[in-house]
Chains A and B, each alone.
Chain A
Amino acid sequence: SQTIHQWPATLVQPVGSPLSLECTVEGTSNPNLYWYRQAAGRGLQLLFYSVGIGQISSEVPQNLSASRPQDRQFILSSKKLLLSDSGFYLCAWTRRWGRSTEAFFGQGTRLTVV
């Protein structure tokens, strides 16, 4: 069976510090991978998606970047965090092909920038 791991679960970082959130998927190959951010009481905003190693598409301009160094690994980074980067970050994956289109989400990372 497929599983998605996301860590850490919670993170408190000072303004100006770097960030690295990691997401890995097990039990499948060639997944599409996504990073979403959920602000308090709001919906999920797509930040980045990737259809393959080294292929990153950004949906919104921001202080964050993403990388996919391996097929099942997706990393969200920042060189200098801003207060506005606080939120709940979710990694997700979908199968690249086939009729099944379900998106599977990780448990999320609660980031608080202080």
Chain B
Amino acid sequence: QQQVKQSPQSLIVQKGGIPIINCAYENTAFDYFPWYQQFPGKGPALLIAIRPDVSEKKEGRFTISFNKSAKQFSLHIMDSQPGDSATYFCAARSSGSARQLTFGSGTQLTVLP
């Protein structure tokens, strides 16, 4: 059972565009929602994260929008650059001591120069 659904699977934008990646979850026990960025052949690295008591969080050019009632959250990348080309994963963390993350299926973003 896929608990975090991510779309689109791939995304191509021009430099300066604003790609938006969407995720939806089902488990209301999730209490932490990070986004990870992964370059080819590397492990994912945390990009930005949000907790469900906040509706929006910005860090530099990256913004998470969170809609708790709809159980959806999204990543916006302002003024996208070719160096942002990577695979992006949303995730959700279960409450409890194990703190395991459930990942979305990933979005491959290509920013054209």
Contact = CB atoms under 8 A, between A and B. Distances in A.
Nearest to B2: A43
B80 to A, nearest CB: 21
Contact of A90 (B44, B93, B98): B44
Interface residues on B, range: 20 to 34
Interface stretch (B12-20, B60-68, B103-111): B103-111
A33 to B, nearest CB: 10
Nearest to B44: A105
A108 B106 contact: no
Contact of A102 (B41, B43, B49, B106): B49
**A: interface residue count bin:** 20 to 34
Contacts of B44: 44, 90, 105
B7 interface: no
Interface of B is mostly: strand
A80 B103 CA distance: 28
What 9 pairs across the A-B complex have the smallest Cβ distances?
A105-B43, A43-B105, A44-B103, A43-B103, A94-B99, A102-B46, A43-B106, A101-B32, A108-B43
Interface of A: 6, 32, 34, 36, 41-46, 49, 51, 57, 59, 90, 92, 94, 96, 101-108, 110
Given A6-B43, A51-B98, A108-B41, 15 more contacts: A32-B98, A32-B100, A41-B106, A42-B105, A43-B89, A43-B105, A44-B101, A44-B103, A59-B100, A94-B99, A102-B49, A103-B34, A104-B46, A106-B43, A108-B42
24 contacts: A32-B97, A32-B99, A32-B100, A34-B100, A36-B103, A43-B89, A43-B103, A43-B104, A43-B105, A44-B44, A44-B89, A44-B101, A46-B102, A46-B103, A90-B43, A90-B44, A92-B43, A96-B99, A101-B49, A101-B93, A103-B34, A107-B42, A108-B42, A110-B41
